[in-house]
Every structure is written in structure tokens, then in C-alpha cells.
Amino acid sequence: MTTTATPQTTADKLDSVLAAGPRPSRPGGVTTSLAFGWRAILRIKHVPEQLFDVTLFPVMSVLLFTYLFGGAIAGSTDAYLQYVLPGILVQTIVMITMYTGVALNTDIEKGVYDRIRTLPVWRPSALVGALLGDAVRYTLASVFVVVLGLVLGYRPDGGLPGVVAGVALLMVFCFGFSWIWTFLGLLARSPQSVMGISMMILFPAAFLSPVFVDPETMPGWLQVFVEINPISHVVYAVRGLMAGDAVGDEVMWTLVAAAVITAIFAPLTMSRFGKRR
């Protein structure tokens, strides 16, 4: 003999499997941002190939430029290493900021973006969390470059405080700089487009700076561009802090550049993130 469940019986069964007590409060923006940041870090665990750009690229740059061109540029490889290593540190971290936009565009392409839009969370936390997660990658890359330099003979006169200050300043700048590629990630049609456009901008911007050579050796018209390039101020500031020099003006310009970039591209990104269909 079959029995038909009444609506009351069904409700009782549902109540028995549901958690007792009041409904949990909605998570705040900080909590959800940290959760999305942890998601970005987990990508490294599941796809360790993402660390190739923060390990192999700086190794090749340091070895190639130091031992192939160091003698011609600075007279000795040891002297050139003291000059070039902070520049390569900046170049490495600045170049990998584009992967923030690539990862966001990949989420859009795979439909993850649509799932995030349905969650009852502070919507910008998906972007802020991704930037926080990438900051961990920037830190890992910085430690790797500095340790590699120490092994090869780099000796920062600023000591540990100078190195920490230089890396911290670089992290602040790159957090703001990443908003450009996040905005681009929302506009581009594919991850390959994000990477291609980013490289067209980053490659000349990184090389037209004092990363590898003193700008005084460049033509006058090119020096004008180098001096207004925000990456140049980052290089001057990081190099000076690690060397123990007084570079307060360059630190100020770096912070101003980060603030201006964030003030422009963060609102544009948030607006685009909310309107995209």
C-alpha cells in the first residue's frame, strides 16, 4: 500500500535536513574579496605553469643582460649586476601584471563570470580579490629575483630595509597598474587579445626606461619619453631604495602614478564590470 506524502510531511522532511538556527548574515566586501583572492592563489596550485613567467623570465633576463652585455655597458659584469638587477625586478613584476586581465577574460570566456554575477556578494570583490591574489604572485617573483641576484653577487647597500621598502613600493604601483589590464580584460574578446595588446604596450614601455641603461646615453627626444614614463620613476625609486640612496621625490612620483592610474581605471573597470552582458 502506497502512501502519498502530504505537504506538511514534505516540509517536515526539508526542515530536518536544513541547518537549524538563523540564516547566516551576508558576507562583507572584505571577506568576499579575500575569498576571491584565495581562489586566485589556488590557480597557482592547480596550474603551476603560471609561475614560469616569474621564474624563467627573470633568470633569462638577468643572465643574458649581465653576462652578454654587462662588460660592454658597465665595464664588468659585477658592476652591471648592481645596476641592472633592480631594473629587472621592476620589469619582471610590471610585465606579469597583464595576467590579471588575461585571467579575468578567461573567466568570462568559460562562463565563470556569469556565475559570479549571480552570487549574493559585493560584486567588485571578484576584481579586488583577483588583484590581491596576483599581489602574492608579485611577491613570490620579487623574492625569487632578489635571491637570484644575491646568489650571483648582487649586494644592496640599503640592506634588508632598503630591499623590503623597494619591493613594497613596487607592489603598490603594480596593484594600481593592474587596473589597466583588468579593464582591458573586460573589453577584449579573448585572452589572446588581452595578452597581445598588453605586450604591445608593456614591451616598449619597459625597455624605454632606465631598466638596462642610463637614459643619458639615449637621444634627447627619447629621453623626454623616458622621463615621463611612469615605469622609469618606479625603476629610479626601487633602485635608489635598494642602494640606500635618498630618492624621496621618485617615491612620491611612483605613488602619485599609482594613485592616478587607480583613480582613472578602477571606476571604469567597476562600471564596465556591472554593465557587461
DSSP string, 61-122: HHHHHHHHHHHHHHSSHHHHHHHHHHHHHHHHHHHHTHHHHHHHHHHHHHTHHHHHHHSSS-
Measured from the Cβ of residue 267, the count of other Cβ atoms closer than 10 Å reads: 12
Q: Is residue 248 part of a domain?
A: yes
More confident residue, 139 or 119: 139
Cα Rg of the chain, angstroms: 24
Q: Which amino acid is at 183?
A: F
pLDDT at 277 over 60: no
pLDDT tier at 1, thresholds 50, 70, 90: very low
| 6 falls within a domain | no
* Residue pLDDT, tens place only, 236-248: 999 999 988 888 8
Q: What percent of the chain has pLDDT over 70?
A: 85
> What's the pTM value of the predicted model, to 2 decimals?
0.81
Average pLDDT over residues 58-71: 82
Residue 4 lies in a domain: no
Please give the Cα distance from 141 to 104 (Å, whole number). Answer: 21
Q: Which domain holds residue 182?
A: 28-275
**Residue holding cell 580579490?**
129
In the prediction, which pLDDT does 260 show? Answer: 95
- Weakest-pLDDT range from 12-26, 91-105, 127-141: 12-26
Q: Which three cell numbers stand for residue 134?
A: 596576483
Residue 195 lies in a domain: yes
261 has a pLDDT exceeding 90: yes
Average pLDDT over residues 54-67: 80
Whole-angstrom Cα distance, residue 247 to residue 54?
27
121 near 274, Cβ under 8 Å?
A: no
Residues 98 and 193: their CA atoms lie apart, in Å, by 11
Asked if the model's pLDDT at residue 31 lies above 80, the reply is no
CA distance 16 to 155: 66
For the ranges 43-52, 80-89, 95-104, 160-169, the lowest mean pLDDT is seen at 43-52
The pLDDT of residue 275 is 67
Please answer whether residues 149 and 85 qualify as being in contact, where contact means their C-beta atoms are separated by less than 8 angstroms: yes
Ranges 24-28, 67-71, 232-236, most confident: 232-236
Residue 43: inside a domain: yes
What's the whole-number mean pLDDT along residues 68-83? 83
What percentage of the chain carries pLDDT values higher than 90?
A: 18
The answer as to whether 144 is a domain residue is yes
Q: Is residue 15 part of a domain?
A: no
166 falls within a domain: yes
| Higher-pLDDT residue of 192, 51 | 192
Task: Give the CA distances from residue 17 to residues 5, 7, 12, 110, in Å, rounded to whole numbers and listed in that order.
Answer: 17, 16, 9, 33
Highest mean pLDDT among 24-28, 126-130, 200-204: 200-204
Separation CA 144–CA 48 (nearest Å): 15
Count structural domains, the chain. Answer: 1
Confidence tier at 257 by pLDDT (50, 70, 90):
very high
Nearest partner of 182 among 119, 92, 108, 277, judged by Cα: 108
